[in-house]
Amino acid sequence: MSADTLTRGADVSSAQGKRDVRPPQRIRIGLLGCGTVGRGVVQLVERERDRIRERHGVELAIERILVRDLAKPRPGIDRRLLTTRATEVLDAHCDLIVEVVGGVHCAGAYVRRAIANGRHVVTANKALLAECGRDLFAAAGRRGVTIGFEASVCGGIPIIRAIRDGLSADTIDEVRGVLNGTSNYILTRIESDGLSFDDALRLAQERGFAEADPSLDIDGQDAAQKLRILASLAFGEPIVRGSIAGIRGVTRDDVERARDRGFVIRQVATARRVAGGIELRVAPEECPASDPLAFVRDEFNAVVVKARAAGEITLIGRGAGSGPTASAVVSDVIGIRSC
């Protein structure tokens, strides 16, 4: 291939990445929640505003932000945007609502009201989607709005788009992954540093990877919620059986014995086709060195998708945190309003 050919290709690529000269479309965002992820969304919008306008032809503007405590210091956040009244966000003249408050009951009520008001919604709330996703998507379909939820599974890893769009023409037989960064961090520290489970958990808490009550993570519930979301996308078939086991019982001796045989222990979440529907399983597994999941360390996540035509596809990245999750949220915002 000649240098001219490469140059022409670059010119075409550059031209495709630019919008026409029409004024950018203004997207007014109502933000529910200003914790770690919410602040990350605000910071990312501010930092990338010019690039997003030039590349995607949209102007992002955060109009109102729901918080619990107005007095809490929030460096870099315009205090004039803050409110403790959800209706001031949900019923304002916003084009789109971003929900990052977490939980199920209040968040569910907020999302339902946003949909009833004809607003598109972007959420990072895996618990809400795992419990109420079917009803929420049905309501959104009736109202003619969209729910973006890339950030609900594996943070900045674009696994939702990969399954929903990239593999839309293919049949998926299995989705398997390390979906919980807290458990993976604990297992990695036991493996690499020789820590006990309790010491590795304390270290994870000190470094902000684990909550004060880590039960949701180490008992497998967090991974199970994410797995249900992925399974609903990948298969669209009934779940006929499932099991959940966490890493709480994994010891340093277990890790060392596995390593002596050439294996590593990971908390693995698997959804696969079986007779009559789909089987879901979350449990500690011994992974051989050749397994893509064996390479995933610390707070990183990975998902392996097995499709009949495309074969095996592996995505690896940071599964949580302000930056990766905010990236997925803002990507959904742009995707919904750029269509």
| DSSP letters spanning 71-112 | TS--TTS-GGGEES-THHHHTSS-SEEEE-S-SSHHHHHHHH
What six digits make up the tokens of 174? 């299995």
Percent of the chain with pLDDT over 70: 93
User: What are residue 272's phi and psi, to 5 degrees?
Assistant: -145, 160
**Separation of alpha carbons 125 and 152, rounded Å:** 5
pLDDT at residue 261 above 50?
A: yes
What six digits make up the tokens of 303? 């998902």
For the chain, give the mean pLDDT.
Answer: 92
pLDDT value for 17? 52
pLDDT value for 326? 95
**Separation of alpha carbons 190 and 254, rounded Å:** 10
Report residue 6's pLDDT band, with 50, 70 and 90 as the boundaries. Answer: very low
Beta bridge partners of 178: 302
pLDDT at residue 23 above 90?
A: no
Please, what is the angle between helix 126-143 and helix 105-116, to 10°?
A: 20
pLDDT value for 208? 85
**Separation of alpha carbons 258 and 180, rounded Å:** 20
Catalytic choice (18, 72, 126, 226): 226
Annotation marks residue 226 as catalytic = yes
Chain CA centroid to CA 164, Å: 14
What domains, with CATH codes, occur in the chain? 6-155+323-338 (3.40.50.720), 160-319 (3.30.360.10)
The structure's pTM equals 0.88
Q: Regarding predicted confidence, which is higher, 252 or 319?
A: 252
Report residue 236's pLDDT band, with 50, 70 and 90 as the boundaries. Answer: confident
